[in-house]
Amino acid sequence: MSDATIRLTTAQAIVRWLASQFIEIGGTEVRLCGGGFGIFGHGNVTCLGEALYQHREALPLYRGQNEQSMGFAAAGYAKAWLRRRFMFCTASAGPGTSNLVTSAALAHANRLPMLMLCGDTYATRLPDPVLQQMENFGDPTLGVNDAFRPVSRYWDRITHPAQVLQSLPAAVATMLDPGDCGPAFIGLPQDVQGWAYDYPTAFFARQVHRIRRINPDQAEVAEAAALLQAAKRPMIIAGGGVQYSGAVAELTAFAEALGIPVVETIAGRANLRATHPLNIGPIGVTGSDSANAVAEKADVILAVGTRLQDFTTGSWTAFAREARIIALNAARHDAGKHRAMPIVADARQGIAALGAAMAGHTAPADWLAFARQQRHDWDAYVAENTAPGDNKPNAYAHAIGVVNALCDPRDRIVTASGGLPAEITANWRTLEPGTVDVEFGFSCMGYEIAGGWGARIAQMEQEPQHDTIVFVGDGAYMLMNSDIYSSVLTRKKLIVLVLDNGGWAVINKLQNNAGSQSYNCLYADTPTIEEPFDVDFAAHAAAMGAISETVANTAELAEAFRRAKASDRTHVICMKVAAHDSWTDRGHAWWECGTPQVSDSASVRAAHADWEAGRARQRQGL
């Protein structure tokens, strides 16, 4: 190995190293880091900004409008690349960086890679206290950036330039690890960013990464295969990990060979096409009658690439108490939940091993016939539920039906938070695998447009001929909308549907279901608002450079959507939907939600009693 060195600042070394990292995807080598999102301030502009400028072609820097939305965009980008590529976010010391905490939590909950390169207070402490510094009187080492420890998979603070040699490879190894994937945070004190060091030139040599595939333990496979072969009513839960593993085709072939019905989680919502005869629908709290009916009767459940979140399990009431669970997951933490029989492995490798162990076996035909009949009945309900009628108020489901009928099969659908994740999960008919991004791991308002922008950047690197379509409610739009402007500035066209129901209608629905009166969720029911008025969302979007229009009904929505598809610029379509009596009213599982044990309200007491009655089916586990 050469002893040659090159003298660089800490910031220059970080950027040069990132620019030299590549990954092999489908036989093609592409840069591992797709660039970054940045807002400069005194904590990162003079040193990291200088270094990024020198590599502006290799690592394009997208100018953010809000640090939180930058993180959401990075998450949307990583998800669209199936965790094979990531973006970095850079923010200044103080509030710029602390704005990223929510984004880091979203990436952590969804197991998504994102690198945060954030300003920090001076390592020497000579100028302390500095502008925007949070002083901790009893521990001078503690600062704002320590808030990222619980929401990062990897956390470091660089206090000497040489630490980059260890920290950067460790951060990337974490972000690319199938079982430990998540956000990496590196704090960069303002003085250390500019300190120089003689780095080995070999450190900056081109490096090609590959995603590790964990092979299963053969004893775990044999035990799981025996259990599945003995099952009379087996079921597969397909999670988001199936897509991250690139195992959609393998899982489909496995299910077909064995005749086992497949249900999908929210993250795994587009594993199978809606028309596939083994696709029995989405499971859980926001699922389908068909999937939940099958889950209720299944005796053995093969859960592939899912962390078994409460919306999947119906707070662990969706399955029979005696049902056995086999959890195939690259993450040991997820493979052992609720006394599951674990297979700690990559989804594709694990499915292949299970398939070989079960060659020639098929599940009982009457069980599959039952599951298919349930899906047939659910499809009939969805067709009716998404079809507008003369006496029906505009509903989320109607807008979903219009877009589903008119979009290209490879268009990407993005939504998050509020009522839309439930409505899309239940009503969207998947046209092609891997085309639906429903962020419900953190259920984070504000992800919709920002995450859509990040997804669109990734889409234009892969399938520029298709569109990214964002569904957003008025509440989330009001929280975070500035990346409409970002999408226009960067010419990353989005189609954004703003569905206005006058506030936080789904939380109002929960409030009412728990027996309480509507209060402080809808604008109309907020006592501190003297005179509610409608926001002109179309005018607001137009002010940010988008083509925008307001439609009155689904017929007008269809025409507007066609115009949006033909447009070369971000197109925002706004439509009012009903806040009450317009929800998908079937397909739900019980969900544990704290309700008052004591109340003066008879309706609250009745709702609490009804809620607690659902607990009778809850599985007991860790």
441 and 549 fall within a common domain? yes
User: E strand or H helix at 326, and its extent?
Assistant: strand 324-329
- Give the Cα separation of 438 and 40 in Å (integer): 30
User: 3-class SS at 59?
Assistant: coil
Last residue of a domain, one of 341, 358, 377: 377
533 and 619 fall within a common domain? no
Instruction: Give which of 449, 439, 494, 510 is closest to 474, Cα–Cα.
Output: 449
Residue 76 half-sphere exposure toward CB, CA atoms < 13 A: 35
Give me the count of residues in the chain: 622
The whole-number mean pLDDT for each consecutive block of 10 residues of the chain, a chain of 622 residues, reads 90 98 96 98 97 98 97 98 98 96 98 98 93 91 96 98 98 97 98 98 98 96 98 98 98 98 97 97 97 98 97 95 96 92 98 97 97 98 92 94 98 96 97 97 96 98 98 97 98 98 95 96 95 96 98 97 98 96 93 94 96 89 59
232 and 154 fall within a common domain? no
The answer to whether position 621 is within a domain reads: yes
The answer to whether position 581 is within a domain reads: no
Residues 473, 407: contact at Cβ < 8 Å? no
Compute φ and ψ for 544, nearest 5 degrees: -95, 10
C-beta neighbour count of 36 within 10 angstroms: 23
Q: Is the overall model pTM greater than 0.75, yes or no?
A: yes
566 and 597 fall within a common domain? no
Question: pLDDT at position 390, please?
Answer: 76
Tokens read off for 620: 């007991």
Tokens read off for 536: 């002109």
Residues 47, 196: contact at Cβ < 8 Å? no
Q: Per residue, what are the HEC states of 337-348?
A: HHHCEEEECCHH
What's the mean pLDDT when you consider all of the chain?
96
Long-range CB contact pairs, 404-410, < 8 A, 24+: 404/428, 404/429, 404/431, 405/558, 406/558, 406/561, 406/562, 406/565, 407/431, 407/467, 407/469, 407/561, 407/565, 408/466, 408/467, 408/565, 409/435, 410/435, 410/463, 410/466
Residue 335 half-sphere exposure toward CB, CA atoms < 13 A: 21
200 and 319 fall within a common domain? no
Instruction: Give which of 330, 334, 261 is closest to 301, Cα–Cα.
Output: 261
Sequence-ordered alpha helix ranges (H) in 408-498: 420-427, 447-462, 474-479, 483-489
Q: DSSP E strands: which ranges in 446-605?
A: 468-473, 495-500, 547-551, 571-576
Whichever domain contains 519, its CATH number is 3.40.50.970
Residue 240 half-sphere exposure toward CB, CA atoms < 13 A: 26
- Give the Cα separation of 121 and 142 in Å (integer): 10
557 and 608 fall within a common domain? no
Question: pLDDT at position 621, please?
Answer: 66
Question: pLDDT at position 622, please?
Answer: 52
Question: Strand 28-31 vs strand 21-25: parallel, antiparallel, or unpaired?
Answer: antiparallel
302 and 232 fall within a common domain? yes
Tokens read off for 182: 């998540």
Residues 96, 124: contact at Cβ < 8 Å? no
The answer to whether position 382 is within a domain reads: no
Last residue of a domain, one of 147, 181, 209: 209
Is the bond into 150 cis (omega within 30 degrees of 0)? no
In order of 100, 379, 387, 573, the CA distances from 392 in angstroms are: 42, 20, 9, 20
Q: What does the DSSP 8-state code read for residue 516? A: P
Q: Which residues contact 596 (CB under 8 A, 6 or more apart)?
A: 604, 605, 608
User: E strand or H helix at 120, and its extent?
Assistant: strand 114-120
The H helix count followed by the E strand count for the chain is 24, 23
Residue with tokens 């003298």, as numbered in its chain: 7
Residues 368, 255: contact at Cβ < 8 Å? no
263 and 180 fall within a common domain? no
Total structural domains in the chain? Answer: 4
Supply the Cα-derived Rg of the chain in whole angstroms. Answer: 25
The answer to whether position 571 is within a domain reads: yes
143 and 199 fall within a common domain? yes
Whichever domain contains 362, its CATH number is 3.40.50.1220
Residues 474, 502: contact at Cβ < 8 Å? yes
The answer to whether position 395 is within a domain reads: yes
Question: pLDDT at position 391, please?
Answer: 80
The answer to whether position 587 is within a domain reads: no
101 and 236 fall within a common domain? no
Q: What is the dihedral of CA 345, 348, 353, 356, to 10 degrees?
A: 170
Residue with tokens 């004893």, as numbered in its chain: 219
The answer to whether position 78 is within a domain reads: yes
| Longest CA–CA separation in the chain, Å | 79
Last residue of a domain, one of 323, 343, 377: 377
173 and 153 fall within a common domain? yes
Is the four-CA dihedral 619, 178, 272, 457 of positive or negative sign? positive
The answer to whether position 585 is within a domain reads: no
In order of 11, 32, 208, 249, 442, the CA distances from 211 in angstroms are: 27, 11, 10, 18, 25
3-state helix, strand and coil shares in percent for the chain, rounded to the nearest 5 = 40, 20, 40
Print burial letters for 511-525: b (CB count within 10 Å at least 16), e (below 16): bbebbbebeebbbeb
How does DSSP assign 76-112, residue by residue?
HHHHHTTTSSEEEEEE-TTHHHHTTHHHHHHHHHTT-
- Give the Cα separation of 112 and 183 in Å (integer): 6
Residues 511, 521: contact at Cβ < 8 Å? yes
354 and 403 fall within a common domain? no
CA triple 72-405-432, angle to 5 deg: 60
Instruction: Give which of 331, 608, 570, 369 is closest to 470, Cα–Cα.
Output: 570
User: Structural domain of residue 353, as residue ranges?
Assistant: 218-377
